[in-house]
Amino acid sequence: MKRTFLKLWGMPILLALLSIFGLIAALLGDGIWDILGWLTLSFPLFLIIKHYYK
């Protein structure tokens, strides 16, 4: 059961955690935190575009 749970929900959980980190980093930090926020928030968009053109 654990294997199927991670297979089904692993990527959505990872994307949610990356998005939360990106939002917090972009709101609270400056400099490198802005860059990290931008990168982590653009990662889900990159995956969407990748799978769209696939």
Do 29 and 43 contact (CB within 8 A), yes or no? Answer: no
Q: In the prediction, which pLDDT does 1 show?
A: 62
Q: How far is CA 54 from CA 6, 14, 27, 50, in A?
A: 24, 21, 33, 6
Q: In the prediction, which pLDDT does 52 show?
A: 94
Task: Give pLDDT < 50 ranges for the chain.
Answer: none
Cβ neighbors of 26 (< 8 A, separation 6 or more) are 33, 34, 37, 38, 41
Instruction: State how far the Cα of 23 lies from the Cα of 17, in Å rounded to an integer.
Output: 10
Secondary structure class of 1 (helix, strand, coil): coil
Q: What is the pTM of this model?
A: 0.78
